[in-house]
Every structure is written in structure tokens, then in C-alpha cells.
Amino acid sequence: MADTGRKKSGDGTAGKKKMSGLKEMSGNANAALETPDIKGAEAKSVCKATQKMIRRAEELQISTVFGRAESMKPCPIGAEGSCCKNCAMGPCRVPPSKKEGEPAKVGLCGASAETIAARNFARMVAAGSAAHSDHGRGVAEVFLLAAKGEIPGYGVKDVQKLLQVALDFGLDVEHMGIKELAVKVGEMALAEFGRQEGELLFARMAPLKRQELWRKLNLMPRGIDREVVELMHRTHMGVDQDYKNLTAQAARAALSDGWGGSMIATELQDIMFGTPVPIKGSINLGVLKEDEVNIIVHGHEPLLSEMIVVAAQDPEMTKLAREKGAQGINLAGMCCTANEILMRHGIPIAGNFLQQELAIVTGVLDAMVVDVQCEMQSMHSIAKCFHTELITTSPKAKIEGARHMQFDEHDPINTAKKIVAAAIENFPRRTGEAFIPSDTNDMVVGFSHETINYLLGGTFRSSYRPLNDNIIGGRIRGIAGVVGCNNARTVHDSDHLVLIKELLKNDVIVLTTGCSAMACGKAGLLVPEAAAKYCGSGLAEVCEAVGLPPVLHMGSCVDNSRILMAATAVVKEGGLGDDISDLPAAGAAPEWMSEKAISIGHYFVASGVYTVFGTTFPTTGSRIYTEYLFKGLEEEWGGMWDFVADPLEMARKMIAHIDKKRKALGIDKARERVLYDMAMRRELESA
């Protein structure tokens, strides 16, 4: 191995020796970013690796999001949705009146606080829906090329799923060949984005009662692009000034994400790259290796990263790596791109959203390869303090100063090899000492809704029946979807974990995606053994019988569509009402930060789910509007929003909602009996 001047520094206990020349560099490169004194890494994150790296960054005087969150407070008026800058007569600020009886403030145009809050909220939905859907469109375009045989290495990997989607699209599967079907599915999926009239094809997968409600309330989504454009139009100055009407159009745009763009992304990715099945993986910054070329793929799309997985295993590349003095090539993921390649290939995850800067601070990252979404611009200035090459790959997401190596969708393997080669070339340029926290955790992931169906029902009769029966019988109290981001305004990972552990203790099974899923992985919740450790006895019994972890990792954020599918399958299985809003279920995003999360929340609410967000809520400046979201919507849609900052209180409210639904279904009694049985059993055991 070539002497790269690196020295293993151990685990957060690294010598005080500074990286050579680094302090100076960080002074320059980070000049624009403040470097405040971060106190107490424990107060920033519950993830041990993150704590160690926060301390390390502080030692090296490198500015990270954790420090900036201390020195820059969020604007209170913007945070509560009370600032309108939709025209140049503003920005107008309409915070709630402080004194009793004071007239409510309005904008220059007369816009009320509720209109302004609703418009701001709606624009978040529009942006979030656009982000997921543009990802979906990219997948559909590549899918179509692949179906036509125009992309070497890409084609139909999961024929079963292709047939299923073709059936869902109403195609004549018996009289069409696989290639013909794939091309047709690709064309139809692409057409969904620009559909001017009618209904999105996947929206017709929802329970019939939900579809009827959407039609009645004019919420049924048409083409994805159309809904987003109309929402942007209606939030323009002087257009839609009825907060309820705005919220309804926001629902159409959000539904066109959940039952449209996101679902298209998930389904077509599964056909092209394989539907996930349970697979082992590992997670946290400890997956980085000092003596290998480390590459992190970060962002959201699997289109290029699928081929980076192949390129990183190419003997030619391994040979090149050895020539440069490395022992091999170590590929890891970050954010949702990580979830995609973890679920399909078992590629380890380096960390979730708030760990992206810290991965570079390890000093061993040879390339940070990003596609789209959730990429912090600060990575560039941190990369400049080290040897790390920050590589952008999407024409939609460039970062000033980063190296751009554009993804050629006609030849992904070639792009992938060039990127891997660039990382290898960079390996000998490492300077200073390595600092890799030793923390990693094992996990079992890959619970597509098809897999859950199969695991529960067995080979002979795949079905959700056992799940429904366990819910009806009370062993499982209900279902929670806990998803979403990390947010530097709250302790990293903590709210996810406190909430989820409380749900498990109360026999609520948890479905998870995104950065929440990664928080669970790091805390050891994604292994079957977690059932005995964290669950109430009912849920523990069910998980142990099937060998399931009590928290099911269902994928990336576009894969929240899998949760919609699973909820629909449970409804269709029977015995738990005839709409998603009848289910003893609830959703949460305790540490959300992105506009995509608001779109996800809104499509869950419009699909009938009680959905709670934590950390902050973007409409609280208008009491009237917030009450409409939290209470008014339940009557109209059967689902509603809520905001609870304290994760234990959040769990309590979700469980109360689940119990309310159990009562309405007449299955609350069954649960009381189970509890009684458990108490008796414990008595017997202790006797």
C-alpha cells in the first residue's frame, strides 16, 4: 500500500494532532460559514458516530449544520407561515395579533393571515410534489429507453411486477410480449405527467370508497404537471383567496405525487432493478474503510447508482484501486439513494441527512457523488478542507465549484466507471489522519408491500389476512408509518427513536422509510431481535412467530407509495372497514424538514390518515388555518394534520387515534381481552 501519510486515529479518541495544513484551509474555505463553538455534541444528536464527528469537526474548526443551527435562528414570522412575498408590494408580514381585540393584520392587497398561511403551505406541497414527480419522470424516461433495449445493462428485471403494473394500467397482458408490454407501460407512465383530463391510473388503485370521495370533492388528480402548475397559478398574487379551496388543490397536487409521481418511481424502479426482498445490511459512518477507496452515493435516484454498484465491483476497477495502493473499493450510500441500493443490493449506508458533512470530515472519503435533493451546499467548502472530490451528476443539480460528471442515460455504465475511476485517482491524495468512528449496526431491510404479503401469508397463499387477523384480535394494536427527514432544529434521530420505541411498546407495528428508517437502523430497531427487546407482548409474539423486525424498512421517500399500497391491501383484505380512514393507523414525520415531507404528509391526510409532524409546523401563524388542517379536514377527508413537538406526546396522540378507530370498528373489546390475558400470563410466570 502506498504511503498516503495517513494514520488510523481510532475512535473519537483521536490524538489532538491536527490534520496538516487543514486548519489553514478550513479558515479560507469556510470563510463564508461561521464556525461557532459547539457545546455538547450529545445535545445535537443521539447517534454516537455523529457525536464523535461533531466533536472532530469542532476540533478542526470546520463549520457544520449543527453549529450553524446555533448561530442562526429561524425567522419566526417565516416559520409560522405569516410572511408573504408573492408580489413586489411585499413582503407582507401578518403575525397573529398580540393584544386581545386588536384587528387582524392583512397584507397590502388585503390577503388575510389564513390565505397567506394556506398559500405558503400550498407552495411547499407544489415544490415537494414536483421534486418527487420529476424524479418519477426521470425514471419513466430511462425505463422507456431500457424497455426499447437502448440502454446497455438496463431492462426488465422483475417480470412479475411488470405484469402486475401492466394489469393495473389495464393492458392486455395475455396477448402482448414482455418487451411490448414494457414499452407500453413506459409510454403510459410518461403520459401520466402531462395528462390533461381524466384520472391518474394509479389513483384507481386506492380503495373504492376513497376514490368516490376524491371524485365527490374534486380531489381526484389529473396529470401531475397540471396539478402542480395549477397550484402555482392559484397561489400567485390575486388568484385563489379561499384557504379551503387552496387546501383542496394542494391535495390534488399532493395526491398526484403519492399516487402518481412517487408511485411511478417506485413501481418502475422495481421492474427495472428488482422488487426489494429482505436483505441484510449495515449502517453508520463506521462502514467507511481506511484502507479502501471510499465512495458515497448521495441523493435520491437509483438510476446511476445502480451502475455505480456494478462499476465498483468491476475487476478492472479493483485492479486500478490496488495499483493506487488501496485494498479495494468501498461503496456506501447516504440519504435515499442509499435506501435504494441498500434494499436491492445490501450496499451499506454511511448515514442519514445530517451526517453528510461529517462523512467528509472522516478524511477518508474519496468521492461524494450526488444526484438530486437533500444535498447541502456546505459539502463543497468542507470537501475543500480535505481531498474529497464532490461530484455532481444531474444536469438539474449542480453545485458551484463541484466537479460535474453528467449521467449519460444512454450509457450509465460508462458514466459510472468514470466516476469510480475518479474516486480511485483521488485515493493517493489523502492528507492528514483518518478519523472514522467505529459505530455500525446490522439491519434487515427490503420490506416492499409484496414482501410483507408473502412473508405473512406464506408461499401458498400470499395475503394480508394474518396481519388483519392480528389487528382484529388485538395482538397488534395498529399500524404507524413513521417517515421523513432529520432536522438540525431538534436532536438528530432522537424524536424518531423516542416515538417509535413508545409505539412498539404499545403494540403498534411501524413502517418506515427515508432518514427515519436510517435512524432506526442505527439504533438496532431493524433486526428481528428488536421485537423481544422493545415491543409489547402482543406485537413481540407476532414478530417472533414470523421472524420479522418490529419496524419494517420499506425504502426511500418515493417508496412511501409502498405504505399507501400496504394500507390499501389491508383495507381490501377485509374486516377493518372499507377505507384507509377506517384503519387503526396513523402517520408521523417527527423530524421533517423538506418540502417533500409536506407533500407526503398532505397526500397521506388526503388519503384518510391522521398525520402528525414534529419539530415545527409551517402554518401556526394563522390559528384559523391551522385549526382547519388539524380539525376541519377530518370531517371532510377522514384524515387530518397535527403537530406535536414532544415525541412521547406524539405517540400518545397517535395511539389515541388508533384506539378511536378500533372502537369505531368494534374491535376495542378484543384488545382489552388480550391485555387481560397478558396480565394473567405475567402473573402466572411470576408465580
Question: What is the binding site for ligand SF4 (CB under 6 A)?
Answer: 84-87, 89-92, 107-109, 111, 116, 237
Nearest CB to ligand SF4, comparing residues 87 and 277: 87
Cα dist from 303 to 151, 323, 477, 659, whole Å: 11, 29, 38, 42
| Strands across the sheet containing 641-643 | 551-553, 508-512, 478-482, 585-589, 610-613, 641-643
Instruction: Find cell 413513521 and name the residue.
Output: 482
Query: Which of 329, 330, 349, 353 is CA-nearest to residue 339?
Result: 349
Out of ligand XCC, ligand SF4, none, what residue 107 binds, judged by CB under 5 to 8 A for its kind, is ligand SF4
CB of 123 to ligand SF4, least distance (A): 12
| Dist. CA 516–CA 525, nearest whole Å | 11
Q: What b/e string do you get for 21-52 counting C-beta neighbours within 10 Å, with b at 16 or more? A: ebeebbeebbeebebeebeebeebbbbbbbbb
CB of 70 to ligand XCC, least distance (A): 20
DSSP state for residue 444 in the 8-state scheme: E
Out of ligand XCC, ligand SF4, none, what residue 514 binds, judged by CB under 5 to 8 A for its kind, is ligand XCC
CB of 597 to ligand XCC, least distance (A): 6
Cα dist from 110 to 84, 96, 354, whole Å: 12, 15, 40
Nearest CB to ligand SF4, comparing residues 116 and 182: 116
Cell readout for 502 is: 413508545
Which residues lie below 8 Å from residue 676, measured CB to CB, with a gap of 6+? none
DSSP run (H or E) holding 404: strand 403-404
Out of ligand XCC, ligand SF4, none, what residue 515 binds, judged by CB under 5 to 8 A for its kind, is ligand XCC
CB of 336 to ligand XCC, least distance (A): 4
Nearest CB to ligand XCC, comparing residues 415 and 594: 594
CB of 209 to ligand XCC, least distance (A): 29
Out of ligand SF4, ligand XCC, none, what residue 237 binds, judged by CB under 5 to 8 A for its kind, is ligand SF4
CB of 247 to ligand SF4, least distance (A): 18
Out of ligand XCC, ligand SF4, none, what residue 91 binds, judged by CB under 5 to 8 A for its kind, is ligand SF4
Out of ligand SF4, ligand XCC, none, what residue 335 binds, judged by CB under 5 to 8 A for its kind, is ligand XCC
Out of ligand XCC, ligand SF4, none, what residue 280 binds, judged by CB under 5 to 8 A for its kind, is none
Nearest CB to ligand XCC, comparing residues 353 and 628: 353
Cell readout for 142 is: 430511462
Residues that bind ligand XCC (CB under 6 A): 300, 335-336, 353, 374, 484-485, 514-515, 556-557, 594, 596
Query: Which of 355, 319, 347 is CA-nearest to residue 331?
Result: 347
Out of ligand XCC, ligand SF4, none, what residue 484 binds, judged by CB under 5 to 8 A for its kind, is ligand XCC
CB of 514 to ligand XCC, least distance (A): 3
CB of 89 to ligand SF4, least distance (A): 4
Nearest CB to ligand SF4, comparing residues 233 and 461: 233
Out of ligand SF4, ligand XCC, none, what residue 338 binds, judged by CB under 5 to 8 A for its kind, is none
Cα dist from 22 to 19, 50, 382, 384, whole Å: 5, 21, 10, 9
| Dist. CA 176–CA 358, nearest whole Å | 51
| Dist. CA 320–CA 305, nearest whole Å | 20
Nearest CB to ligand XCC, comparing residues 252 and 596: 596
Q: What b/e string do you get for 101-110 counting C-beta neighbours within 10 Å, with b at 16 or more? A: eeeeeebeee
Nearest CB to ligand SF4, comparing residues 116 and 609: 116
CB of 98 to ligand SF4, least distance (A): 20
Nearest CB to ligand XCC, comparing residues 560 and 581: 560
Nearest CB to ligand SF4, comparing residues 235 and 556: 235
Nearest CB to ligand SF4, comparing residues 104 and 108: 108
Torsion-angle region of residue 110: left (phi > 0), alpha (psi -120 to 50) or beta? Answer: left
Nearest CB to ligand SF4, comparing residues 91 and 328: 91
CB of 332 to ligand XCC, least distance (A): 15
CB of 94 to ligand SF4, least distance (A): 7
Helix axes 335-345, 262-273, angle to 10 degrees: 40
CB of 93 to ligand SF4, least distance (A): 9
DSSP-assigned states of every residue in 489-506: TS-BTHHHHHHHHHHHHT
Torsion-angle region of residue 544: left (phi > 0), alpha (psi -120 to 50) or beta? Answer: alpha
Residues in the chain: 687
| Dist. CA 660–CA 25, nearest whole Å | 58
**Contact (CB, 8 A) for 670 and 472:** yes
Cα dist from 331 to 159, 309, 402, 486, 539, whole Å: 28, 7, 20, 23, 36
| Dist. CA 62–CA 70, nearest whole Å | 14
Out of ligand SF4, ligand XCC, none, what residue 281 binds, judged by CB under 5 to 8 A for its kind, is none
Out of ligand SF4, ligand XCC, none, what residue 374 binds, judged by CB under 5 to 8 A for its kind, is ligand XCC
The residue whose Cβ lies closest to ligand XCC is: 485
Out of ligand XCC, ligand SF4, none, what residue 383 binds, judged by CB under 5 to 8 A for its kind, is none
Nearest CB to ligand SF4, comparing residues 116 and 367: 116
